[in-house]
Structure 1
């Protein structure tokens, strides 16, 4: 697996026939939307945003134009609405993207595909095939795929599977500050929801326990009901517990990424090194023929440092133990790649530095 900490992702990229699309596996507040936007602007690309988002279950043609970044999203300006590329898969007077099921919207961490996966595979295959028929390259930006990444890698070997990795402190801070400033609890609630709905999986239960996460007391009777319970829980969640939940989900997703991606995108480094940005561009070009320009990436690590005084309600000094526990969890997994473990260790060291200033 090509990793992002080497001198050039382009050099490390596999030399083979061009991949027939890109699956970009990201986390909430990881800067994945920005990375995807750099691919979407290419003339040869059809960029699908969040193909597992539950918004797609009720989306109508009339809704598409309004699906743009808002002040509370923290997303970059986009030339077209988020869901513009789904228009051919919507019908006049009806709601819902063709083939989409709402249960796709919850990530899963089982070792083998669940009963929903054949329908999910058919849904994505239809998007890919219809796009290819028009001579375009499909590029999907996921936020709910990392747990299922091994399933997707096996089902779609013809596409490039790229992953976005951002240090957990910066990634969490982005969502926490949105909640503080705009009372938007979604990004605080999301880790509780995903962990809770997967807590019967031994690997997930282990991550919950090792990170010391307290889940909402509600019993998951349905995905929707539990999501609502988690949003309510997040509105008054103790900050340290919210961060522990985030790190537990972060390390689970990182573990899946380590096992199934063709290219790892280190967002922290992307904003600090023009050489790295150029190498990343070469990596995409080598595997897909696409040449996205990442030279305008912001230094998101420095932005996290500048926002430290605004991080209220969290004892950052106590987070070192959580970072250490998560890294220990990763190291304990059989077959964990040594280079990837080192990359995660670097992320945890950086997270220690960044959280030290939180009070």
Structure 2
């Protein structure tokens, strides 16, 4: 491996497929300790198998997930796959064992009630069954268990997406390459599909858990919440493509100030003109020159807001910034979607709201405690 080259690994779906192949090898009396798979993109994979045992439910194989250099939360966990051949069908039935979730909300790629075993892993497993039996019409029951998934699911978006009981068995091809920014962004999009399928009239964009907590305290429905991380513009685009009509952006001062300046990727390494933007808007509302300098010299937006508040201008400045976010966001989407903005502090107080956000609140019964 060349210096600096990141190692690839294999997905939970590939682990499950390797377990199925190991189970077939075990039944044939062949060596099962290491199996070869062809990923769906044509990449050959060699996957070690930790153990294979016979159980009352079938042949169970254990494969330990290897994520390479991807910061994947399932790295090192055991994926157990139990294979049972059955005569009453000529298809494969997939079941969720311990730690594998079940779909409970519409909008996902699988119907409600199905185990959250995505189509990539299912295809890999079907390919293995056909390879090992010579037929695509084999009756089998495949149960996938990831016991650690019960706890790991709490660190994922699965609870928001309505996947209950554990994590999802995922993987588009079977190869796990170190996650790119694009892959992370794409992982956020299903939240939009679920919210729209639930009939939510307003999608409420929050950057993370703090925004989620504040939104819920205002009376926003859990199913309306969309975590965006730093990718506000990307998520606005995806929501518009899917026919969303109304969006509320709810965020801390630091995020909304960037959007007021037209910055819709809010990571500080992409753009960080928070203090300059605050200084400009505060100066436009009458902040004295010395105080403007103090804003520019502040360490954080919280420090800067204290300067602005001391001058009695906080309410006016925050209202103007929220209005500017509304204008910038609707312009970003070429007027296709109504977008409102709520600026909050970490305590959950509403610091600024535009007219669109206030109308959303009236129409949908949100409780706005505007006490900065």
Q: TM-score, normalised by structure 1?
A: 0.29
| Structure with greater strand percent | 2
Q: Going by fraction, where is helix more abundant, 1 or 2?
A: 1
TM-score when normalising by structure 2: 0.28
Larger Rg computed on CA atoms:
2
